[in-house]
Structure 1
Amino acid sequence: MNTPEQSQLGKTSAYVDQYDPSLLFPIARAPKRAEIGLSDSRTPFFGADLWTAFELSWLNPRGKPQVALAHFTIPCETPNLIESKSFKLYLNSFNNTRMADAAEVQARLRADLAEALWRGSGHSGSIGVKIVGQDRFDQEMVQELDGLLLDRLDVECTRYQPAPDLLRANHDEAPVTETLVSHLLKSNCLVTGQPDWGSVQIRYSGAQIDQEGLLQYLVSFRNHNEFHEQCVERIFMDIWSRCQPIKLSVYARYTRRGGLDINPLRTSHPGALPANVRCARQ
């Protein structure tokens, strides 16, 4: 089983510019889920990791460079996630590779990523891959997450490692349905310690969650080392267990690094995924 420490994170890497799917480095989700009391076969959430690649290029049959954006939808049911630097190196391996057209690029991306994401499980599955060509760049919109902004609150923050005891809800009053947003989410890469910046949207129905405590809790991730997907699952599980909502969705949009952004969604109930529309900081 691959571990984060075995990846190319924090190491000098040669850029391969000829197509090479072996560059993808899957990491099992199970160990970090076990830390928050989950097994892969029993998770109380659905969801996906929505990736955007802003630096996708290849050569057409005549050797002319092509550029595009790509959106990836990776179900959270996959046994593995893909370490982001390996994803970047893999995408760069297309740079000097001749492809017939965007459809061939899309097919290779889908097949290679699906193989890595399901590797070692004895199962297979598909992922979503959408390539956006230059003719559609003007359709890629920028908008902010909707919801009541928690950052308006003037709270004292003194804890910078995850502190779920800050979470509380009023179970003596009638249940509410709210959407809350904060742009103060920050965590660090699990291996390198480099900062990861994000915005988070929390939708829930149930006992009203104390907003000051929730904001302090989100800020408490500031010095925490964990991958994006793992942070969102930790936030979901802490709110789920501490506040016991009837329904809950946690959606984070992280700023890009190396031309990639990662935007995990975890929700207690199945439904349509949000549009992969980037925020201003992305």
Structure 2
Amino acid sequence: MASSADKTAILSNLSLGKITEYQENYAPELLQGVPRSLNREEIQLQHDLPFTGVDRWTGYELSWLNPKGKPQIAILQCEVPASSSHLIESKSFKLYLNSFNQSHFDSLEQVQRTIQQDLSLCANEQVMVKLVSPREFNTLVMSPLHAHSIDELDIDINEYQLNPALLTVEEQWIEETLCSDLLKSNCLITNQPDWGSVLIRYAGKKIHHESLLRYLISFRKHNEFHEQCVERIFCDIMQHCSPQHLTVYARYTRRGGLDINPFRSNFEQIYPEFRLARQ
């Protein structure tokens, strides 16, 4: 188990929250991974994870030069397995992608292979990477979350510090899919706000909708990375509501041309790709 000093040392070595110079030539060393164990120890996750899933990233600011020096563009889609030992730190990811700007590559396929290799090394597990070319942009889908929104509930809110004890259940057994666009947490290091929408699909005793909304809003002043927040939500619901099946899928608004969308489930695979209006 990592000590507090070890955690502080790991986080202090990240480029996040520090003044950095942008590099315009390919620099894979810019990528930085964060051990997933740092947060998982706190929420008592062991090696046998109670979920599977991926961190699905979308990169909208990817460009490079072809052999003749002509700029090329693409949209990056990648999935980092939740089973990887390291998550990809978002600022380092942005700086890494920026380093392609003045670098020459023979083809889109070469860029894709290069990014896949570098991300896989950083995460310490095979990462899926796909580059969407401009002629394929019209195939990208914008869609709402296909779930019942709990955001219109007319309730009083007075807790903005994380409180999983807010979660309660009823005796009725149910299968349902709920969502909220009111998820907000803050970056662990910079305290910048992270805005997101979250889908929760489960089978079990009915989660009291008001309690779930209060719980999600209680993240409003909580500081944690996106991936860690989703795993915390999964574990808190499992502990306090004990559903038989559970999926937690969050889609966060982009920052610096990147959005991250962590998916965790104990019974299903990630859904086909789409993006929300705020993304």
- Correspondence for 1:67: 73
Which of residues 241, 247, 250 in structure 2 aligns to 1:249? 247
Alignment of 1:129-278 (within 5 A): 129-170=129-170, 172-173=171-172, 175-269=173-267, 271-278=268-275
Distance 2:165 2:196 in 1: 22
Matched, 1:126 2:126: yes
Post-superposition CA distance 1:68-113 (Å, at most 9, x none): 1010011100000011000000001110000000000000001000
**SS of corresponding position for 1:126:** coil
The counterpart of 1:78, out of the listed 62, 73, 84, is 84
Letter in structure 2 aligned against 1:245: P
Q: What is the RMSD of the two structures over their aligned residues, measured on CA atoms? A: 1.0
- From 11, 16, 19, the equivalent of 1:12 is 19
| Alpha-carbon distance in structure 1 between the residues aligned to 2:263 and 2:245 | 14
Question: What residue is the counterpart of 2:3 in the other structure?
Answer: none
- Secondary structure at 1:207's aligned position in 2? strand
Matched residues in 2 for 1:19 and 1:143: separation?
34
One-letter amino acid of the counterpart of residue 32, structure 1: N
User: Residues of 2 paired with 1:227 and 1:274: CA distance?
Assistant: 22
Structure 2 unmatched runs, 5+: 1-5
Provide Cα deviations, 1:144-171, integer angstroms capped at 9, x if missing partner.
Answer: 111111001011111111111110112x
Q: Distance in 2 between matches of 1:92 and 1:77?
A: 27
1:23-57 alpha-carbon deviations (Å, 9 max, x no partner): 00111000100110112x12101100000000000
Say if 2:230 and 2:248, in contact at 8 Å, map to a contact too.
yes
Shift of 1:281: 0.3
Query: If the length of structure 2 is used for normalisation, what is the TM-score?
Result: 0.96
What count of residue pairs does the alignment treat as equivalent? 272
In structure 2, what is the equivalent of residue 23 of structure 1? Answer: 30
How far 1:3 moved relative to its partner?
A: 1.9
Letter in 1 for 2:271: P
Give distance in 1, aligned partners of 2:123 and 2:68: 33
Normalising by structure 1, what TM-score? 0.95
Task: Specify the alignment match of 2:103 in structure 1.
Answer: 97
Following superposition, the deviation at residue 12 of structure 1 comes to: 1.1
Instruction: Give the whole-Å Cα distance in 2 for the aligned partners of 1:223 and 1:149.
Output: 22
Classify the secondary structure of the residue corresponding to 1:3: helix
The alignment partner of 1:152 has SS state of coil
Contact 1:167–1:217 (Cα < 8 Å) also in 2: yes
Q: CA deviation digits over 1:161-190, x for unaligned, max 9?
A: 1111110112x33x1100001000000000
Conservation of the 8 A alpha-carbon contact between 1:10 and 1:191 = yes
Check whether the contact 1:71–1:276 (CA below 8 A) recurs between aligned residues: no
Question: Which residue type is aligned with residue 136 of structure 1?
Answer: E
Give the Cα separation in 1 of the matches to 2:151 and 2:59: 29
Separation in structure 2 between the aligned mates of residue 276 and residue 49 of structure 1, nearest angstrom: 12
1:42 corresponds in structure 2 to 48
Could you report, residue by residue, the CA deviation over 1:117-140 in whole angstroms, capped at 9, with x for unpaired residues?
01xxxxxx3111010001011111
Shift of 1:5: 2.4
Letter of the structure 2 residue corresponding to residue 279 of structure 1 = L
Indicate the percent of aligned positions where both proteins have the same amino acid: 49
For residue 159 of structure 1, give the secondary structure of its aligned residue in structure 2. Answer: coil
Give the equivalent residue in structure 1 for 2:278. Answer: 281
Code of the residue aligned with 2:140 in structure 1: it is E
Matched residue SS, 2:57: strand
CA distance in 1, matches of 2:34, 2:269: 27
